[in-house]
Structure 1
């Protein structure tokens, strides 16, 4: 069996055609990656490459880190332990994202009542619970930036009847951990 022979000019034309097709695909992919519909995949890719934060802003506007009591790990009903901190503020005070991220859940259920979950740097999950209301436009899949409104302080869920507050928790690959040291480490949080 003999292989067909191809002249060098024909081979170069074929190679140039393949290279032009690959270049076209690469240009189309680069263009698509920058489009608004790719904001969530871009953010997801970025979040996985970022390290966990070494400090965070307080996610309730106007509250200083020094005013937050260390209640992480405190006993709760049913043998539970408190997996976050409670940040007290007047009802309706804005709650903002402590990190850039992607909203992965907006729901009203369980102990947390009205809540927002944000996937943040190092793909840690940030939990904002007992909200009075959600911010306009906050839905699952929304890309958020640090300081972007998520909702307002309230007493929903099992906090009904208590002073209004935000329950703020952070969950990494090993489970919940205390966010207060990160809030206190931020030089902008008095």
Structure 2
């Protein structure tokens, strides 16, 4: 029973943090590229995430998880850099740049979430799925209530940059098998 709760809580926390991060980035992008484009990119990311979840769940032994962690970590750090850069810059109207950037973030988040959720599902599928569903429901509820929309655009960039960096750095550490404090696993769990 305790183990199922740990898997449930870890899946919930992981999906809530990662999904919340994408929601914050999505709200910032919504202002730039419009509702339709943001929704389209989000749905593509969701479809990729679902497809990859089943792929990783059924073929997890064929993927070197440490290389996936390193690649995801580097990608997340790159997008963290772009968020910090945008936070420090003045406003700009380059719609294509935001569309492409959000597309890559959505795909990276889909890959990261699907690998993590597949890993948790191998431990206990019911707890992992229920934790993820609850986290997604909470994010959708916060979006519906408009709580996330009230955050100023500059602040969303800063928060996104911090969340992307805080997620990317541990993934690189896990992938490189560098010793780390145990509490880091509770904050950002490894994919393996």
Could you say whether these structures have the same fold, taking a TM-score greater than 0.5 normalized by the shorter chain as the test? Answer: no
Structure with more of its chain in helix, by fraction: 2
Q: TM-score range by the shorter chain?
A: under 0.3
Structure with more of its chain in strand, by fraction: 1
TM-score, structure 2 as length reference: 0.24
Rg larger for = 1
TM-score, structure 1 as length reference: 0.24
